[in-house]
Amino acid sequence: MYEYLTGLVTIVKPRYIVVEVNDIGYQLLVANPYRYHVDKQEKVTVYIYQAVRDDDISLFGFSNEDEKQLFLQLINVSGIGPKSALAILANPDHEGLINAIANDDVKYLTKFPGIGKKTASQICLDLKDKIERLTVSETDLFKPLSTDELATNDALQDALEALTALGYKEREVKRIKKELEKKPVTSTEEYLRHALKLLN
């Protein structure tokens, strides 16, 4: 079982990143790939969960141990698979998530893709006593994009593709696209953060 990988981020896509360790590239499914940036000089450490199914072996990556623990708590809930858990973690407001579970806020939880009232209630029931022990904060591993890395339409398009990869329906993505287009020139990560706030 993998605990973490330390290496260079060589590829960032809407659904995953690739971390190169000793000339081997590991594809890691992550909640928000655009928190990471291609950098062939600076190594990052990404915590890992390996999911094994009959027809697939996938690696899921997390920015810190707390985020991984939150993911592990979520996938232990009946009805929550690794991809649903990633979609929940993509929302940068992890404190809001923890508070929603602690306060039985089913309405907040049903805003995530693939989470209905029954599953949301199950999340609260299963995790209420466990979740309060976790405090997930944003990591400082990710440096801001430089000016030449910023993009306009490309950044927005990548953000919209990332939302689709997380499981949001096409009509939901289209609904917020116009709102995102009003934002000033920004990075894909910032577009994605704003989009998740609009959706949730």
150-199: which CATH number, 1.10.10, 1.10.1070, 1.10.8, 3.40.50?
1.10.8
Query: What DSSP designation does 60 have?
Result: E
Q: How far apart are alpha carbons 37 and 107 in whole angstroms?
A: 34
pLDDT along the chain (200 residues), means of 10: 92 94 96 89 94 89 90 90 89 80 89 89 87 49 38 74 83 82 76 83
CATH class given for the domain over 65-137: mainly alpha
The CATH superfamily assigned to 4-62 is Nucleic acid-binding proteins (2.40.50.140)
Say what the pLDDT of residue 186 is: 66
CATH code 1.10.8 region(s) in the chain: 150-199
Q: How far apart are alpha carbons 86 and 103 in whole angstroms?
A: 22
Token pair for 156: 């927005």
CATH code 2.40.50.140 region(s) in the chain: 4-62
CATH code 1.10.150.20 region(s) in the chain: 65-137
Q: How far apart are alpha carbons 186 and 151 in whole angstroms?
A: 7
Q: Which amino acid is at 111?
A: K
Q: How many separate helices (H) and strands (E) can be counted in the chain?
A: 8, 5
**DSSP secondary structure of 12-65:** E-SSEEEEEETTEEEEEEES-GGGS---SSS-EEEEEEEEEETTEEEEEEESSH
Say what the pLDDT of residue 58 is: 93
- Asked whether the beta carbons of 154 and 127 are under 8 A apart, the reply is no
Q: How far apart are alpha carbons 27 and 68 in whole angstroms?
A: 17
Alpha carbon 178 to its chain centroid, in Å, reads 23
